[in-house]
Structure 1
Amino acid sequence: MTLPQVPGYAVVEKIGSGSYSTVYKAFRKNGPREAVAIKCVEKSKLTGSAVDNIITEISLLKVLKHENIVEMKDFQWDDRYIYIIMEFCEAGDLLRFIHKRRKLPEAICKRFLQQLALALRFLRSHNVCHMDLKPQNLLLTAKPKLTLKVADFGFAQYLSTDEQNSSLRGSPLYMAPEILLKRKYDARVELWSVGVIMYECLFGKAPYSSSHFQELAEKIKARTPIEIPHSPPTSGECQDLLRKLLQHDPNQRIDYESFFQHPFLDLEHIPSSESYQKAIDLVCEAVKQDSEKNYSEAFTLYCDSLRYFVPLIHVETDPVKKSVLQSKVKSYIRRAEDLKKIVYGHDESNEEASEENRGINTHVDNGSPDFNLLCQLASRTPAMATALEIGYSAEQYMAECQYQTALDKFQSCLGILVPMLSAEPKGRRRDLLHLQIQQWLKQAEGTKAFLAVVNLDSGNIPETKEWCRMQ
């Protein structure tokens, strides 16, 4: 096979191909020996629309500079080819990564989805729609940490959530139903594609896996329900986001703002210099409140700081810095555990308590006069009374370190009580309900912090010859 001659680069091997382009690995001849990927587009194979796509791709990549978007370093042309010189992503693409492992743990899926969400948030700020999101177009770099980068902007276009289009773009398996059915669509089509990618990461296949296009189209047209498999088990937040992304009707699908704010993604706690400073500020305030014997407030602040600290440990690549950070975080965890016992008054001898003794009955009593009064006032509203019982049991599970169960129950009771609060008339019951909701929201956040600690190492991928460990 004859390799192309690109001025300034030594082309060494073919790494991929498309309908009118071939991608090669190459090295710069001058300066540091940097690996690049060169997309060679054969001019003679370009149709009118393909020419437009190449022009759009180059013009977009010149301005789209983001950590989670593959960088275009240069472009050239001669009589036969257009050469797009790109950042080289040595860890391959997400599809290969999934197939190597069959399914990805939820923690790994979450990290990839967070990075994809950051790229999409950046694209939305420029009104750009990628229009061909799929695992093959999500490339991975391994150094200094495993990072996902969006690639191949050949179908991209400027499209807002107000504008509509009808051109057929993308890959059928990842296309939103409104595109496949040749209806008008807007930028929300990307969110369906994200849902399909998320599903494939978790379960090893796309929700509408089909042997041919006609079968896929029939499933879409029939709006065949998408079932979330029971195995492997996934968290409530994960399932909630998946269902909201994979809505056939774009008007029922989650919108971008809600997507970026979804608790499963938790973009607020993504590691950064800002998140590190927030963690430091929170833990300093926690120490202050602790010294003043404001134990409940100190516990909440320690938990809040841990939600920022734990992701920072995951991404730290310097062994010395990582060890120091781990040591500090362990001390904060120990103090938070001590404060949890003080705040909850947990009796370790009662860890084997039955479900009935955790408060799932009609006489909930947590020792707080306000809470007990709220339970009495809620007795004439069965749904509220039940939600309060669930919330109380969440506190018990939290005290017993059963964090996932506690979080599920906190979310369950808050899902009932928060809508009730908006409809509740002014009065003593409303005031008490508002206070209790605020307390349980804080406790739910604390539970998430302890879950993050418990899962600190669950997201690591064993090292192999081919894949680095995901930090």
Structure 2
Amino acid sequence: GSFAIVYEGVERMTGETVAVKQIKKRGTQRSAIQKEVDIMAKLNHENIVKFHEHFDDDEYLSIILEFVRGGDLRDYRKTHGVLPEFLVKSVASQVLSAVGYLHQQGVTHRDIKPENILVSSKNPLVVKLTDFGLAKAIANDQSMLKTFCGTMLYLAPEVFPEHYLKAANKGSYTQSIDIWAIGCVLYFLLTDRHPFDCGDDRELTLSRICNAQYDIQLLEQHSSSAFECTDFISRMLQVEPRFRISDTEALVHPYLGGEASP
């Protein structure tokens, strides 16, 4: 990320390969950092990168994490092209399971995108969520809004209060922003296009995000079960957060093999 560098390291006691994430603190209060670290330390889920320990000094926070060898989902897709639909469904189930667990712990990821979904195993395909909120907490609350080419494309309408006019609580957001982001990721994995990307036209991209305007036909063309697929994605990409499908409901949606009620 913009505020962190990740190194490969080895734990001296065990010889285990680990990832060392070094984050420049930029004046953030130590208590805010400690709160985020405490949250990470408590998380234990097969689809979330495991936290080992951390080291803190005046300038940097160094976090020791599970080392995931397969790179991230963006690079995996670049190498393998558009993923077969059964793999996209597998990714959906795994990420939704991880997000459901986070939400049960009272944690909102806030930055789900292909770069933050790591590939732990390729056969079978196993993915793990990483990078939930720590870098942004250490930088500042506005940092997630400053990156247009990337993160912004996965942000829900309510994160843009100056453009988002439909919700009564505009400018605030809940755990449902993670569901929106997962919908964007799955659309991208299926079609090789982002649902709202208008290139350099920032205002048009924002307009599309805030009105959930995307090409449904393109999605239908890339799915062998078009009705279930478009229904699944559209329930995630609801402009109103309260109308979005929950992680629990999504996991039992017919598209993933469940029997969700209409």
Short-chain TM bin? 0.7 to 0.9
1:180 equivalenced with 2:160 (yes/no): yes
SS at match of 1:192: helix
User: How many pairs were matched up?
Assistant: 242
TM score, norm. by length of structure 2: 0.81
**Which residue does 1:200 correspond to in 2?**
188
SS at match of 2:242: coil
Distance 1:227 1:190, change over 3 A: same
2: distance between equivalents of 1:77 and 1:90? 26
More divergent stretch after superposition (171-180 vs 219-228): 219-228
Q: CA deviation at 1:193?
A: 0.6
**Which residue does 1:231 correspond to in 2?**
221
**Which residue does 1:41 correspond to in 2?**
23
2: distance between equivalents of 1:124 and 1:57? 15
1:59 equivalenced with 2:31 (yes/no): no
2: distance between equivalents of 1:221 and 1:149? 29
- Equivalent residue for 2:13, pick from 20, 23, 30: 30
Q: Deviations over 1:163-217 (max 9, x none)?
A: xxx9785621000111123523222111111100110110112101232333311
- The answer for unaligned runs of 5 or more in structure 2 is 146-150, 163-169
What amino acid is aligned across from residue 8 of structure 2 in structure 1? K
What amino acid is aligned across from residue 240 of structure 1 in structure 2? D
**Which residue does 1:373 correspond to in 2?**
none
SS at match of 1:128: coil
Q: CA deviation at 1:149?
A: 0.6
What amino acid is aligned across from residue 207 of structure 2 in structure 1? E
2: distance between equivalents of 1:174 and 1:233? 21
Q: Counterparts of 1:108-123 in structure 2 under 5 Å?
A: 108-123=87-102
**Which residue does 1:137 correspond to in 2?**
116
Q: Is the 8 A contact 1:139 1:148 kept in 2?
A: yes
2: distance between equivalents of 1:66 and 1:242? 25
Q: Counterparts of 1:30-109 in structure 2 under 5 Å?
A: 30-31=13-14, 33-43=15-25, 46-48=26-28, 54-109=33-88
Distance 1:225 1:85, change over 3 A: closer
Q: CA deviation at 1:47?
A: 3.6
**Which residue does 2:207 correspond to in 1?**
218
**Which residue does 2:233 correspond to in 1?**
242
Q: CA deviation at 1:101?
A: 2.3
2: distance between equivalents of 1:196 and 1:109? 12
What amino acid is aligned across from residue 18 of structure 2 in structure 1? V
What amino acid is aligned across from residue 5 of structure 2 in structure 1? T
**Which residue does 1:262 correspond to in 2?**
253
What amino acid is aligned across from residue 50 of structure 2 in structure 1? E
- The answer for unaligned runs of 5 or more in structure 1 is 1-17, 158-165, 269-413, 416-471
Distance 1:266 1:155, change over 3 A: farther
Q: CA deviation at 1:249?
A: 2.3
Q: Which has the higher contact order (CA 8 A, sep 6+)?
A: 2
What amino acid is aligned across from residue 172 of structure 1 in structure 2? M
SS at match of 1:120: helix
Q: Is the 8 A contact 1:119 1:150 kept in 2?
A: yes
TM score, norm. by length of structure 1: 0.47
1: distance between equivalents of 2:22 and 2:134? 17
Q: Is the 8 A contact 2:196 2:214 kept in 1?
A: no
CA RMSD, Structure 1 to Structure 2 (Å): 2.9
SS at match of 1:251: helix
Q: CA deviation at 1:219?
A: 2.3
User: In percent, how many aligned pairs have the same letter?
Assistant: 30
1: distance between equivalents of 2:60 and 2:27? 14
Distance 1:152 1:226, change over 3 A: same
**Bigger radius of gyration among the two:** 1
Q: CA deviation at 1:227?
A: 2.0
What amino acid is aligned across from residue 107 of structure 2 in structure 1? V
Distance 1:116 1:221, change over 3 A: closer
Q: Is the 8 A contact 2:49 2:128 kept in 1?
A: yes
2: distance between equivalents of 1:177 and 1:234? 29
SS at match of 2:221: coil
Q: Is the 8 A contact 2:216 2:230 kept in 1?
A: no
